Amino acid sequence: MGFSGPGTFQEAERRATVIAIPKVGKDTRLASSQRPITLLFHIAKLFVRIMLRRLYRHLTPRQEQFGFRSGHSTTFQLARVLHYMAAEHNGGRRTVGIFLKIEKAFDRV
Residue 87 confidence (pLDDT): 95
How many degrees, rounded to 5, is the angle at CA 71 between CA 70 and CA 77?
105
- 10-14, 20-24, 50-54, 55-59: least confident range: 10-14
Q: What single-letter amino acid sits at 34?
A: Q
23-to-14, 18, 84, 103 alpha-carbon distances in Å:
28, 15, 39, 18
| DSSP 3-state of 49 | helix
Query: Could you tell me which of 14, 54, 55, 56 has the C-alpha nearest to residue 38?
Result: 14
Is residue 82 scored above 60 in pLDDT? Answer: yes
Map out the domains of the chain as residue ranges: 1-60, 63-109
